[in-house]
Amino acid sequence: MKKIFIFFACMALLVPCTTMAGSGHTKHWSYEGDTGPAHWGDFSATCAQGMQQSPINIEMSDVIKGDLKPIGFHYDTSGTSIKNNGHAIQVNIPQGRYIVVDGERFNLLQFHFHSPSEEQINGKNLDMVAQLVHANAKGELAVVAVLFKKGKSNPALAKVWKKMPEHVGKSVNVMSIDVAALLPADKGYYHFMGSLTTPPCSENVKWYVLKSPVSIGAKQMKKFHGLYNGTNRPVQPLNGRVVTGS
Give the C-alpha distances (Å, rounded to integers) separating 22 from 38, 44, 200: 18, 17, 21
Residue of 25, 39, 74, 87 with catalytic role: 87
d(CA 129, CA 134): 16
d(CA 24, CA 46): 23
39 counts as catalytic:
no
Q: What is the DSSP letter of 3?
A: H
Q: Is the peptide bond before 213 cis (omega within 30 degrees of 0)?
A: no
d(CA 2, CA 144): 23
3-class state of residue 181 by DSSP: helix
Give me the active site residues, please: 87
